[in-house]
Amino acid sequence: MSHYSIPKRVHRLWSLEHEPALEVEGGDTVSFELTEATDGQFDPGSTAEVIAGFDWDRVYPLAGPVMVKGAEPGDALEVEFLELRSVDWGWTAVLPGLGLLSEDFPDAHLHLWDLSRGDKAGFLGVAQIPIRPFCGVVGVCPDVTEPQSVLPPGHFGGNVDCKDLVVGTKLYLPVQVPGARLSLGDPHAAQGDGELCVSAIEASMSGTARIRLHKGRRITAPQFETAGPLRTDDARAGHYATMGVAPDLMQAAQGATRAMIDHLGAHYGLDPVDAYVLCSVAVDLRITEVVDAPNWVVSAYLPKAYLNTP
């Protein structure tokens, strides 16, 4: 088994046309450095005015593609995360037209985070968010005839924004094309399940992963295996949860989120847009019920351990 570093060049689309960054064998490890999702268009002194001048063609710079010897459609690629390290600052933004509540929050908003403590990041004197770095985008290349945007995930993986892909987790991806063509990007320092305002704590990252190939293991979409219990420290003080009930899961998710924003305003004095940002990085959306037609239930869980005394 060997160790490699992915060269510091990027691509921004899923495509079979990208020149491979390197080739590895099953069992090899790779190190990588990832730039946050805007490719440096924010800095620690930025304000929300920067968003109006965004170059959207620079968004989602990905490291790779990494070719895996012997990988063929019908196999599964395993990516085990061995080390992930965020830099000392990050950002969360409300981007006009995007996010679960885009109609409620049409204006650009930016929050900058101090990550220099390494373990937690404070939020407006209200909360302390544990830092748990992970890659928002991890995927093999889909079998495409034309280049495909990175924004939507697919059965090949990609922009799944799964906050449990932390150190120790093993991610399994169904190989779509010869060589697999693995790419990584969109590094996050922390996120709630749902990434509600369309951004997590976005922060550049370095890391290491081990790649294994499982011949003949057919899976239809990504699967993953954690190294132990999920975030047991989150639960030690309990949760506050709000419910959304609707005949559509998206409407139910919106209802639960709006109720949580109201709760944070009433009990912690947060402006609605700041509460929305906090929900995106700390609140977990969970499907509570999908069997009692015509209404379904989504709950929004906020760990009370994150919160300072109101």
Query: Which is nearest to 150 in space by CA: 230, 34, 264?
Result: 34
pLDDT over 80 at 19, yes or no: yes
Confidence of residue 281 (pLDDT cuts 50, 70, 90): very high
The string of pLDDT tens digits covering residues 178-198 is 999 999 999 999 999 999 999
DSSP class of residue 140 equals P
pLDDT over 80 at 74, yes or no: yes
Question: Mapped to the 3 state alphabet, what secondary structure does 164-191 carry?
Answer: CCCCCCEEEEECCCCCCCEEEEEEEEEC
As a whole number, mean pLDDT of residues 256-274 equals: 98
The pTM is what? 0.95
As a whole number, mean pLDDT of residues 8-19 equals: 96
pLDDT over 70 at 295, yes or no: yes
The string of pLDDT tens digits covering residues 100-115 is 999 999 999 999 999 9
CB 135 within 8 A of CB 188: yes
Domains in the chain (CATH in brackets) are 3-225 (2.60.120.580), 234-306 (3.10.28.20)
Q: What angle do the packed helices 249-268 and 272-282 form, to 10 degrees?
A: 120
Confidence of residue 173 (pLDDT cuts 50, 70, 90): very high
SS3 helix, strand, coil % of the chain, rounded to 5? 15, 40, 45
- In the prediction, which pLDDT does 176 show? 98
